[in-house]
Amino acid sequence: MSEQKTPYELIGGADKVDALVNRFYDLMTLEVPFIDLRAMHAQDLSIAREKLKLFLIGWMGGPDVYSPKYGHPMLRARHLPFKIGLKERNQWLACMYRAMEDCGIKGEFATRLEQSLFNTADWMRNQPN
């Protein structure tokens, strides 16, 4: 019986997560379809980049590097100050899916990751539509 790999291992570790997060925030900054999503963030994205990278590493089954630095992620609580409806969820997902594609994440793994990201993003909604 072979040992099953975590999504963190399948994606390629911290370097690949870093590339994904950087591409995600670059797209958010550069692409018009994501302008509303970008407006929800601080001008300086360095902290957001770091937090998302550290969170995703643990969320994908890698080492817990987020909690020792920032405490429990408390995703919903930390995002409650922001209006997150269908539009915001869909922009976030479109930006992340595009970043995945640009980083060469494809195939069955990409499909599974997209579904997991969708489930999490949909859970983050705090507006009915």
Q: What's the token pair of residue 12?
A: 């390629």
Q: pTM for the complete prediction?
A: 0.93
Q: In 10 A of CB 100, how many CB atoms?
A: 20
Please report the pLDDT score of residue 102 as a whole number.
98
d(CA 81, CA 64): 25
- Domains assigned to the chain: 11-123 (1.10.490.10)
Please report the pLDDT score of residue 116 as a whole number.
97
Q: Encode the chain (129 residues) as per-residue pLDDT tens digits.
A: 568 899 999 999 999 999 999 999 999 999 999 999 999 999 999 999 999 999 999 999 999 999 999 999 999 999 999 999 999 999 999 999 999 999 999 999 999 999 999 999 999 999 988
d(CA 3, CA 20): 25
